[in-house]
Structure 1
Amino acid sequence: MASCSGLVFIIETVALALLILLVLGLVIGKCLGYIEIYRSERRRQNYVKLEESTERNTKGNDQVDNWVQNRLRRLQEIEASYENQKQEVESLQEQLRQERAEKKKEIAEKDDALKRLSAIMSSRLKDGNPNVADLNDQNRPTKIGEQFSELYDNQWTDAYDAIQTYFELQKNESEIIGLLLDILEQCFKFCKDRANNQLTHLNDDVKKLALTITKKDTKLRGDLMQRIKEERKLCAVDEQPKCNEIASIIKQHFSAKEAKEGFLDDLTVIQFTQECLKLCWLMVIQDPPMSMMLKHTENAQDLFKAYKNRGKHVSFVVWPALLLEEGGSLISKGIAEFHE
């Protein structure tokens, strides 16, 4: 009896436990159902929100696209306007360059015409008139006079010493001075002949050219000849004679007078001769040519400075006086030895 009661108790306990488990299962299932429904609702709400957000973003993107397209169109319009304005600026710049070039050409033509007119007027004014000096000319007569005096102070002294040494006191002072004057005189004669021949050839060549063009043999105008002389003065340095051109002439001249002409080969004498040639060439191409006074006259004291001794009469000329032209005004005084 007791065992039956115990069995019944066990069975009731098991049944009660199963019932409790069943209730718990139902409760848990219900809870799980509620949870699933909640999750589904949350997913639905999230999906709705996502759709709404996507729709808003799509609308926003459409607005951005429209804004971008409007800006692109505006940019294209600005670029097109910029290109048009750029072309207009380039066209104006080209027009300005052409106008400047034309203006520059006109100014150059005007300046050239004024220069030619000035040159013609200057040539006519200076034609045969040595008293009108071009102060821009570095080889004008007064400058030549300064160089002529420097030649006596420098190269003449060196050449004198060289000749004196060469002849070993076989020649006195006046004889050595005479040799130096001979060199100067030969240089002047050589340059004068060359200048005259050159001018004659230039005159003939220009006349032949004019004859070829005009078919008429006419005399050249004075202003044209003056321009030719001016151009020759501008090229004076390039055209001046060299020592080797006159060496044989000078040696031939001295061989007829001296038993020994080897002194002409001395370096200092060559330098003296070259400087004489340079200055003589500048003298003879002046218009009119400059002149040297190698012989003394009655008014010698006005034209020559004393060499060593003063007096009323000239013993011999040491260095010539330089004149503006033949019989013209004095440019630089010469040097002479005087006696009472």
Structure 2
Amino acid sequence: MDSCDIIVYCLSGVLGLEIIALLIVSVCICTGTIEAKLRKKNLRLKDKLREEKTRLEDELRKETQEKEDALKRLSAIMSSRLRDGNPNIADLNDLNRPTKVGEHFSELYDNQWTDAYDAIKNFFENTLTELEIIQILLELVKECFTECKAVSKNQMEKLKENVENITAIITKSDSQLPSYLMQHIKEERKLIAPNHIPAVDMILPRLERNFSSKNRNPKFLDEPPMKAYIQECLKLSWFMVIQDPPMTMILEPASNDYRYFKEYKNRGKFLGYIVWPALLLQEEGELICKGTAEFTSASSSLNSEAELNVRL
């Protein structure tokens, strides 16, 4: 081998090494590029997985919430249907439920009734008999109850009419309100009842006309104890009439059934006259609190005092 061959051989070796080096570098570059692409692809995949996970979690929360809301609505509907017109199922969170109204009604007789009795007695300077004063007080509670019944009926009719009109506009049909919706309206009205108690000024003009027609000076109604008595009668009467079904009073018992009344002063087998009405859960329903009546041993006394008995 001459010197030229040796030089060519060496150059070939050097070139081969460079080619190999270049190949190695190319492979490394390609490998790095591939790894970078894979990392980017993995990151995009992870981002998509996180987004999909978040979407699925959101859908799960939404569906869970919708399910809970549906169960609550179903429970409310079933509860409303169960309570609709059923006074035996009481809401113990309701501070104005029938039993509480009965307690306050008894307190009214023990407190404001006594103050009003003295106010009438003093205003008329002892010219009225005890029976006449009792009759006035009984008439006042009766008028308050009648007024509240009228207001309640008118209010419910307007509420029903307004809701039906809105429903007809939305649904384009004249369908009756579902019973559960009516029950919900009644319950909502009970919640706001303390803010819508009829005021004394609403009923006072009519009371003044009534007593003027009976030759009674109506100015006694302006006495503070009288206004306090009338206002309390209105408040409790209002809480009675908004119950579902409405509570009722007994001012004239059937026959001589004295089980609804306790004695005023005297005992006996027959009712002489009513002093304070008994309170029932509903018409012909369970007794919530007894009234007060004067009893006698003579049956004729009931007829002699018939003018005092007022049926609501």
Pair in the same fold by TM > 0.5? yes
Aligned to 2:170: 213
Aligned to 2:98: 141
Select the residue among 253, 259, 266 that pairs with 2:223: 266
The alpha-carbon deviation at position 117 of structure 1 amounts to 2.2
Kept after mapping to 1: 8 A contact 2:256/2:270: no
**Aligned equivalents of 1:100, 1:242: Cα separation in 2:** 55
Select the residue among 99, 113, 124 that pairs with 1:156: 113
**Aligned equivalents of 1:319, 1:198: Cα separation in 2:** 28
Pair 207,257 (structure 1): closer, same or farther in 2 beyond 3 Å: same
Deviations 1:266-295 (A, max 9, x none): 001100100100000000011111000011
Deviations 1:125-172 (A, max 9, x none): 111111121122111111111110011011111111111101111111
The alpha-carbon deviation at position 99 of structure 1 amounts to 9.8
Kept after mapping to 1: 8 A contact 2:87/2:281: yes
The alpha-carbon deviation at position 118 of structure 1 amounts to 2.2
The alpha-carbon deviation at position 298 of structure 1 amounts to 2.8
- Per the alignment, in what secondary structure is the counterpart of residue 149 of structure 1? helix
Select the residue among 93, 105, 114 that pairs with 2:71: 114
Kept after mapping to 2: 8 A contact 1:144/1:283: yes
- Per the alignment, in what secondary structure is the counterpart of residue 74 of structure 2? helix
After TM superposition, the structure 1 = structure 2 runs for residues 1-340 of structure 1, keeping only pairs within 5 Å, are 109-340=66-297
The alpha-carbon deviation at position 100 of structure 1 amounts to 9.4
The alpha-carbon deviation at position 246 of structure 1 amounts to 1.3
100-109 vs 325-334, greater mean Cα deviation? 100-109
The alpha-carbon deviation at position 180 of structure 1 amounts to 0.6
Pair 116,178 (structure 1): closer, same or farther in 2 beyond 3 Å: same
Amino acid paired to 2:248 = S
Amino acid paired to 1:298 = S
Task: Please say which structure displays the higher CA radius of gyration.
Answer: 1
Pair 98,296 (structure 1): closer, same or farther in 2 beyond 3 Å: same
- Per the alignment, in what secondary structure is the counterpart of residue 233 of structure 1? helix
**Aligned equivalents of 1:249, 1:191: Cα separation in 2:** 14
Deviations 1:70-109 (A, max 9, x none): xxxxxxxxxxxxxxxxxxxxxx9xx999999988776665
Deviations 1:271-330 (A, max 9, x none): 010010000000001111100001133353210000000001111100000011111111
Amino acid paired to 1:148 = F
Amino acid paired to 1:326 = E
Pair 337,215 (structure 1): closer, same or farther in 2 beyond 3 Å: same
- Per the alignment, in what secondary structure is the counterpart of residue 295 of structure 2? strand
**Aligned equivalents of 1:98, 1:168: Cα separation in 2:** 84
Q: How many residues are paired up?
A: 249
Kept after mapping to 1: 8 A contact 2:240/2:246: yes
**Aligned equivalents of 1:120, 1:251: Cα separation in 2:** 46
**Aligned equivalents of 1:171, 1:108: Cα separation in 2:** 68
- Per the alignment, in what secondary structure is the counterpart of residue 111 of structure 2? helix
- Per the alignment, in what secondary structure is the counterpart of residue 285 of structure 2? coil
TM-score, scaled to structure 2: 0.74
Pair 101,173 (structure 1): closer, same or farther in 2 beyond 3 Å: farther
Pair 113,239 (structure 1): closer, same or farther in 2 beyond 3 Å: farther
Amino acid paired to 2:196 = E
Percent pairwise identity: 54
Kept after mapping to 1: 8 A contact 2:86/2:244: yes
- Per the alignment, in what secondary structure is the counterpart of residue 336 of structure 1? strand
Aligned to 1:70: none
Kept after mapping to 2: 8 A contact 1:191/1:241: yes
- Per the alignment, in what secondary structure is the counterpart of residue 273 of structure 2? strand
Considering fraction of residues, name the structure with more helix.
1
- Per the alignment, in what secondary structure is the counterpart of residue 76 of structure 2? helix
Kept after mapping to 2: 8 A contact 1:296/1:317: no
